[in-house]
Amino acid sequence: MVTEGDRSIAAQGPRHASVRGTSRGMGWAALALCVLGCGARPHAAPATIAHDEVTLYRDRALVAQRVDVVVPPADTATVAIKIAAGVDPGDLVILDRGELVISELRVANAVEEEPGPAARKPASAARVASAGSAAGARSEATEDPPDSDAGPDTIEPPRPVSTKPTELELVISAPHEGRFTLSLAYATDRLAWEVAYNLTTSAARDRAILRGAVAIRNTSGIALHAHTYLVDSELGAWRDHTADHLGSVLLATPSTPPAPPRDLGIVRLGDGETRIELLTEASPCKMRSVLVYDPIGTRLDHPGAAPISDPALGASPAAPARITESFEVDRDERTTRGLPAGPVLLFERRPDGSLAILGEARLFDTATRVADIDTVAVGTADGVIGHRERRGFAKDDDQKRFSEEFLVTVDNARPWPIDVVVREHLYRGQNWTLAYQSGPAAKEGPQQISLRTTVPANGQAKVLYVVVYTW
């Protein structure tokens, strides 16, 4: 009998599971395949993974683990392994068995009604910002106040989270004694993450450096030393794509994720929180002052293919007239590809070395995923107001299309000309096209465009566009 004890499957390098010979009969157990597929990147080959891998999604993580098994001379053997807390055997996928035959899989330390993870408050930009950054000096967000209508007896404290790893036993048989390798995968909600950024500019305000960090919290009960990827989407939305996922894992066929993965490299994820810097090669990007008129925002966005045809949507009540003083920063596609959405703080470094906060926004949201620039609002623009008016609405049920025409007017009371970014949201649905626009338009995301105009001193400028939706 060859063993290495109950060694954690998460230790650095290939895992060696403890094994003991057995003469008991071979009872087949159902090894249910859940929808796990990789989804982060195509695998180079369908062979056993060379090392552990972790793919972090918004709602859970996919963990692919490599287990080295030393089989003694026996008809069958029982392999003891440890995986993340709360994972059921039915949630496992055996990626590669090698020459082994698995006849039974069972939990060695079954726990009755294990409590789920407690809800966690999202971090502020200051809390997660990379160590040593200016944002790190900000105080942490406070807890949300309880519902004012709830009495003290109705407020339930967060349930404790069990971090005891799940211990599994696999009954296996092999063609001969020796060392073999298993590759298995599962999904877990015990690896959660938050991200935040900061932009730092000088007093000249013509360039800014982007920094960011991700904080990964591990409550799985095992340490992981794995090649880690970050995908800014939810795995839960992919549950119907079983064939695509399993093909991605077993046949090395590429999948198309809703967001590109961010390769974090080899990371050791011990118990508790691990912080990783996201932009180690960041260089200064061009920054300039601009005015932004964004009267609707993303609150009405309907991501479905069939558009919402309610005539009042987005037209009543009237859109606000506020225009913001903002800074726009050129986005470096090479260094920012795959970065997840998160809050950002814009800082100015003064000549004496001190830092001042200029504004706060969000970066890399779905609405701006394909944008070339990012904007951070710093206040209300004095002497400049906007007006948004719907000029036309027509629906053709036979052609399965309808159109809207909008006129955006910007009034400038300043004694100098100004540049304004008019940001519009095509919120009715994602099947749209611009039939006409009075000036150049840039697509910034699935339902967001920007139109630019220059308003003369003490003057007015108008932007007109027509959007057509189909279903």
* Contact present, 30 and 54 (Cβ < 8 Å): no
SS3 content of the chain, % helix, strand, coil (to 5): 5, 45, 50
Query: Which of 99-113, 176-190, 201-215 has the least mean pLDDT?
Result: 99-113
Confidence class for position 16, pLDDT limits 50, 70, 90: very low
pLDDT at 34 over 90: no
pLDDT at 146 over 70: no
- Strands 441-445 and 448-455, by their bridges, are antiparallel
Which domains, and CATH codes, for the chain?
290-327+371-470 (2.60.40.1180)
- Strands 76-83 and 15-22, by their bridges, are antiparallel
Residue 213 φ then ψ, to 5°: -150, 150
371 vs 46, residue with greater confidence = 371
Q: Which residues partner with 469 through β-bridges?
A: 402, 432
Output the six-digit token pair for 15: 């895992």
* Contact present, 374 and 332 (Cβ < 8 Å): no
Q: Kindly report, residue by residue over 336-347, the tens digit of the pLDDT.
A: 999 999 999 999
Highest mean pLDDT among 258-267, 299-308, 356-365: 356-365
pLDDT at 236 over 80: no
Query: Which of 169-178, 304-313, 373-382, 436-445 has the least mean pLDDT?
Result: 169-178
Output the six-digit token pair for 224: 């992981």
Residue 270 φ then ψ, to 5°: -80, -175
Highest mean pLDDT among 50-59, 234-243, 254-263: 50-59
Residue 249 φ then ψ, to 5°: -80, -45
Query: Which of 7-21, 41-55, 58-72, 212-226 has the least mean pLDDT?
Result: 7-21
Q: Where are the beta strands (DSSP E) in 231-369?
A: 262-269, 272-277, 285-293, 324-330, 342-349, 355-363
Residues 6+ apart with CB under 8 A from 110: none
pLDDT for 111:
55
User: Which residue in this structure is represented by tokens 């794509």?
Assistant: 241
pLDDT at 151 over 50: no
pLDDT for 179:
84
